[in-house]
Structure 1
């Protein structure tokens, strides 16, 4: 599928999910998680001092093994993924570093969006069954980190939070 078409579909899914959450329709129990990304949130290494961005992570109705996301960044070096642009969800609380548990698309033109399903080759490196559920139900145990050639350990980072700052 063409990259722009995929982004349009993801954007529509996010808008629909956010709209449904606000109308409180029965049967929609997806958590919409957010992360405010900045270079100052990096732990143990210097991030991009003026880098910033946002990420939104959410599940899909009736599919507890699929996780969708949108990552948008500004004021950081962006290059094609094959040249070192990357993004991940890592497992660790605020102020700590942890291993990647979900491989996200690098926002090579400033934004990236996709959906990942457990068992999909190369998407969840630990292979843990139930990792999507753990991320969605325990957001503060996870963070998003965006890497680039200028900051290979991470240009920007942000802790995941639920709708009520959980």
Structure 2
């Protein structure tokens, strides 16, 4: 039985490596990210959730607007997107913003839609319009963000709107 399980896991891992190698697109990275960690990542671009409930390799997304800022006001023409990759004990966040003054800070906050809440993760500010951060976090927090994304939001701040220029709730 042990040998059968061992062969199953080895063949499954080998198949995953072959599949990953045959993936049509790797995520090219030009090294222009801010903060966090450097390097090139690989993305299969399939959105598969194979983590067995552990929150591994999942993505959560957010559309950021000034209108969503609470208590407000946020930047009325400000827009942006956030993509959060959830690993066991790490979050990697890609942020893009436009139509706002240069960002001075960015965070993930705990809080439902329409409420302001505390910062739970500090991110690199997209001061030139984009940023990329990888941050070590507690496993319980990664599981919570993976399973209850609507209880968290991404917020980008700048000098003109220090309480927040754009905001968006995380979603699946």
Shorter-normalised TM range: 0.7 to 0.9
Structure 1 unmatched ranges of 5 or more: 80-84, 119-127
Kept in 1, the 8 Å contact 2:108–2:155? The answer is yes
Structure 2 unmatched ranges of 5 or more: 1-29
The total of aligned residue pairs comes to 139
Instruction: Provide the residue aligned with 1:43 in structure 2.
Output: 70
Asked whether 1:70 is paired with 2:94, we answer: yes
Greater relative contact order (Cα < 8 A, sep 6+): 1
Q: Distance in 2 between matches of 1:27 and 1:129?
A: 13
Asked whether 1:144 is paired with 2:154, we answer: yes
RMSD between superposed Cα atoms in Å:
2.7
Instruction: Provide the residue aligned with 1:116 in structure 2.
Output: 135
SS at match of 2:89: strand
Query: Under a length normalisation based on structure 2, what TM-score does the superposition of the two structures give?
Result: 0.72
| Higher Cα Rg, which structure | 2
Instruction: Provide the residue aligned with 1:104 in structure 2.
Output: 123
Q: Distance in 2 between matches of 1:92 and 1:44?
A: 12
Q: Distance in 1 between matches of 2:39 and 2:85?
A: 12
SS at match of 2:145: helix
What whole-Å deviation, never above 9, does each CA across 1:73-94 have from its counterpart, x for those lacking one? Answer: 0000015xxxxx0000000100
